[in-house]
Amino acid sequence: MAHGKFIASVFRNPKLKELIHKHLYEKDGLMLGICNGFQALVKLGLLPYGEILDMKPDMPTLTFNDIARHQSKIVTTKLVSKLSPWFNKINLGDEFVIPISHGEGKFVANEETLKELEANGQIATQYVDEKGNATYDIRYNPNGSVLGIEGITSKDGRILGKMGHSERCYTGVIKNIPGNPDQKIFESGVEYFK
């Protein structure tokens, strides 16, 4: 989490903050944060609010895994919202095998925020069990995230944060694990600008 906090403190620089907001809202840009990047986006308020804000105690956060130690394994996640252009090349309900590696990846938020995220379609991906259901079971949800949340978006979907390492799913990696590892996130991000 120290990395996420450090990244967030750098991005709070007024000039950098202005450039980020300009990138997002004047240039119709995208942002993606994976693992520590996701932590930073949440610490900044960019997720789920879409802008850099001062932190308040009732805002969502990412905290220590329920087992109070680092987890590194392959998990199954499911796309539960097509709000984000980062997921334009896959289908709602698709499941993916994704590597995770973190000690502080538990997404937590108050009841009001969770209801708002659900209503807005901002819960993008969830950790799921063998039947495709979101779960708190430690075998499938490696950190104890509420509602099995693995990734969320901003209200417009252009900012995506997720714990699973999609960037580690390239040809020749985890090829002995059954399931599809390719969420086509990076293809979708490039295509967004064409």
Q: Cα(174)–Cα(179) distance, rounded to whole angstroms?
A: 10
Cα(37)–Cα(17) distance, rounded to whole angstroms?
A: 16
Which of 18, 118, 130, 167 is an active site residue? Answer: 167
Active site residue 165: yes
* Residue 92 burial (CB count, 10 A): 10
**CA 81 to CA 153: how far, in whole Å?**
9
Q: Helix %, strand %, coil % for the chain, to 5?
A: 30, 20, 45
In the residue annotation, 191 being an active-site residue is answered as: no
Nearest to 101 by CA among 47, 50, 45, 38: 38
The partner residues of 75 in beta bridges, in order of sequence, read 98
- Catalytic residue from among 70, 95, 116, 165: 165
Give the length of the chain: 194
Which letter, b or e, does each residue of 6-18 get, where b requires 16 or more Cβ atoms within 10 Å of its Cβ?
A: ebbeebbeeeeee
Kindly name the residue from 35, 102, 150, 169 that is annotated as catalytic: 35
Catalytic residues: 35, 165, 167
